[in-house]
Chains A and B, each alone.
Chain A
Amino acid sequence: MMWMNVARAQSLMPTRGTEVASQVSNLYSFLLIVSFIASAILIGGMIFFAWKYKRKTDNDKTPYISHSTALEFLWSFIPLVIFLGVFVWGWYVYHQMRDMPKDALEIHVVGKQWAWETQYKSGVKASNLVVAPIDTDVKLIMSSNDVIHSFYVPSFRIKQDVVPGRYTALWFKANKLGEFHIFCTEYCGTQHSGMIGTMKIVSREDYDRWLEEESKVGLLPLAERGAKVFQVKACASCHSVSDAVVKVGPSLWQRFGHEEETSSGEKVMFDENYIRESVLNPNAKIVKGFPSNVMPSFQGQLSEVEMAALIEYLKGLK
């Protein structure tokens, strides 16, 4: 048992948020123990022989041992049995990961450069945030807007590539409340490492309350609604709003009503029309010092009301 605890401490895996995560950790602990034993035999043997049979004189005689069928059979057969055992165990746990539960709560996830967008059946949208109830089968139906991404929650030990042009799925049943990291694990360009989201596991009641609140966004004041659009469309992945720091694109803090110099040298007023044009056709007037073809177009993704709300929000960034 002490061995098991040592291995657990060694493994340093993140908190286990699901039953499957515990099973993966157990299998990993077993693999660590077997690996330690195998390494002790081979590396220990190597060090022992190196010490015991160190060259004494330049004329040492060594025995001529060409092979030993029995030994060679043993050290082929024993690893084979261990490997096959590990294979079956890995298969067993993997099957649970891939066997999608029926009647699960379905949440749609879209990966894009460089944010995760989630959409609930009720129409509620969120960005870089998945809120899900505890002790419930949840199925994520995922697709990508542009290149391949990979949806990874270390604490749940689940990962699935998110591929443009097809749907992939993941499921989990969280048994721990709290917030867990979502990482993108398929290289997707500049902000790959910034594509971090939060998996928020809440009680059933909190989940219902959250959905309820989110669906009331339409009743908020215009600027607050704009803040919501800004968040949902993940504008903040590339544009800072509370200081002048440059993330990928220019900061939007205190820009409204000021002149910008574009890459072609002309001056342009940062006003309602410039915001609108830059959202719908980002390459039209690029601020000097920034590359073109980085920001995607949001043509067709915002209603007129949302656009007005967004502009109102940017006006208020002081």
Chain B
Amino acid sequence: MAATTHHHNPDVNYINEFKGIGSWLTSLDHKRIGLMYMISVLTFFLFGGIAALGIRLELFSPGQTVMTADQYNQFMTYHGAIMVFMVIVPGIPAILGNFFLPIHVGAKDVAFPRLNLLSWYVFMVGALMGIATLFMHKVDTGWTFYTPYSIKTSGAATMMVVAAFIMGMSSILTGLNFIATVHKLRCPGMTMYRMPLFVWAIYSTAILQLLATPVLGITLLLLAAERILGVGIFDPALGGDPVLFQHFFWFYSHPAVYIMILPAMGVVSELIAAFSRKTIFGYTAIAYSSLGIAAVSFFVWGHHMYVSGQSETAGIVFSFLTMLVGVPTAIKMFNWLATLYRGSISFQSPMLFALGFLFLFMIGGVTGIMLATLAVDVHFHDTYFVVAHFHYVMVGGTLMALMGGFYYWFPKMFGKMYNEGLARVTFVFIFIGFNVTFFPQFILGAMGMPRRYFDYIPAYESLNKISTVGSWLIGIGFLISLYVIIDGLLRGKKAPANPWGAKTLEWQVPSPPPHTNFHHDPVVTAGPYEYR
């Protein structure tokens, strides 16, 4: 080790130091595992995206057009299950978190590299089991697996549920690894308050992954047991309670919403600081608001159930607590805005995605407050208003941040620059396409169109047509992104160590980084955003 530390060859990096497919599949390097996650998640994203385009195509006109009602229900189930369990939950933490969290805290790797590799394998086993159900009797329960429908359906729901359980195990392992890494592997001088906000966000997410995911696991196992063994936990015909399933499910799946969005907030904090060349405003407030959101998110699950038959009192308590989550979220929005103030703002593609995030997340946020409001939610619950809201948060938020983060760190990950002009074009298509697709859905929801509808009354037709056209624009945007990635990998110019002039540690090492991340053990003497 001493030899490589003192006489390092600048052309040797984590990609080319070891060769062959075997060196990847057995690699304990967090960077390589991050890339393996990237390839898998992007592949699943393609599947989920095709299902989304299929859904929108069928809804272009009322009545049966390109698929039957059963096929539609399968499309909407696979779209939801793939996008949630295989794309957005693992997305930012497992790809960008794996790659950058250790470097951000000045570590050579995560705390448990073998566990890290195991979590990728466990994820792949779960994901492939989920995909395998496509070749069995396709699942039509929706990604929420609500009982008793999920017990009665003839689809391969048991297999899908076990697949989600296994992917949950992977999520737990990843979370555990990140928590240990943050606490035990920070380099000399890297205090908690010198960590980039991305690390704070991933750390808060990891706590949620560790504490909430087991509940999902238990719930899904109970559901599988009920399907296989006929144990009467949720099926009223056997003396069970179907609403109990909803409580269990959302006890995980609401924190999971923050598992999906907190990492995105971390990425956006990095992007806004870097492209404003300015220290982040209210570092402590942003860091603690992540933890605050994580904590409160455990106590708001019942806002998914205002009309489920739970008591009026429960509805009131959950509405109140949900309003409280709005506060740390608002704090973050204002802090990002204040960071822009008197900055030196450049509009390179990652920043465009970050600003796009602020715009879309604002709309996602205010509509979230509307849905938290009891009386208004009774009207909006399970309508397209909810569909639009969570797409503004999950896609407008998480996916925009993932794209922005991806362009931001692409030079570091691959040592190549991509075509900046084309990358901006992708932003224009995705941003405009997104709004064209999902803004009309708010209006459809206000008009009363329920979600998961294969067919609809004629009054909803024109807005559905607009929405479908928007989905094509998003599709084109992602196709161009794919081209930008491939073009950058094949023909990109060599990337300098720090193309953006950013201050966090990953930009102080070569692009791509060496196998051990740092040629010299780093010592940190200042915060992550010292632009002065």
Interface residues of A (CB under 8 A from B): 11-14, 20, 23-24, 27-28, 31, 34-35, 38-39, 42-43, 45-46, 49-50, 53-56, 58, 60-68, 71-72, 75-76, 79-80, 83-84, 86-87, 89-95, 97-98, 146-148, 150, 152, 154-155, 157-161, 163-166, 168, 181, 183-194, 196, 248, 293
Contact = CB atoms under 8 A, between A and B. Distances in A.
Contacts of B379: 13, 24, 28, 154, 157, 159
A148 B242 contact: yes
Contact residues of B: prevailing secondary structure: helix
Contacts of A194: 69, 455
Interface in B375-417: 375-379, 381-383
A157 B340 contact: no
A75 B307 contact: no
Contacts of B446: 11-13, 28
B344 A90 contact: no
Nearest to A38: B366
B113 interface: no
Contact of B309 (A39, A146, A168): A168
A65 B279 contact: yes
B148 A164 contact: yes
Given A13-B379, A67-B284, A189-B149, 19 more contacts: A31-B370, A39-B363, A55-B344, A55-B345, A61-B344, A62-B276, A64-B532, A67-B282, A71-B334, A71-B338, A76-B327, A76-B331, A90-B374, A90-B377, A91-B375, A98-B312, A161-B307, A164-B242, A187-B452
B15 interface: no
A190 B70 contact: yes
B104 interface: no
Contacts of A87: 319-320, 323, 372-374
Nearest to B148: A147
Central interface residue in A43, A188, A196, by most chain B CB within 10 Å: A43
A71 B281 CA distance: 11
Contacts of B370: 28, 31, 35
Contacts of B149: 147-148, 187-189
Contacts of B362: 38-39, 42-43
Contacts of B29: none
Contacts, number: 270
Closest 8 CB pairs of A and B: A165-B236, A154-B448, A93-B375, A60-B344, A90-B373, A94-B374, A35-B366, A193-B453
B344 A94 contact: no
B242 A49 contact: no
Nearest to B456: A193
A65 B276 CA distance: 13
A35 B338 CA distance: 20
B447 A13 contact: yes
B309 A166 contact: yes
B162 interface: no
B316 interface: yes
B378 A97 contact: yes
Interface string B336-376: 01101111111100000001001100110011011011111
Contact of B448 (A23, A56, A79, A183): A183
Interface string B449-464: 0111111110000000
A152 to B, nearest CB: 7
B450 A79 contact: no
B499 to A, nearest CB: 12
25 contacts: A13-B379, A24-B375, A27-B373, A28-B370, A28-B376, A39-B363, A46-B359, A49-B341, A64-B532, A68-B338, A87-B319, A90-B373, A91-B374, A92-B375, A94-B378, A148-B146, A155-B448, A159-B307, A165-B237, A165-B242, A183-B448, A186-B146, A189-B149, A190-B70, A193-B453
Central interface residue in A62, A154, A181, by most chain B CB within 10 Å: A62
A293 B358 CA distance: 49
Contacts of B191: none
A14 B380 CA distance: 12
Contacts of B506: none
B375 A94 contact: yes
Contacts of A39: 362-363, 366
A54 B276 CA distance: 9
Contacts of A166: 236, 309
Contact of A79 (B326, B342, B531): B326
Interface in B101-155: 140, 142, 146-149, 152-154
B484 to A, nearest CB: 23
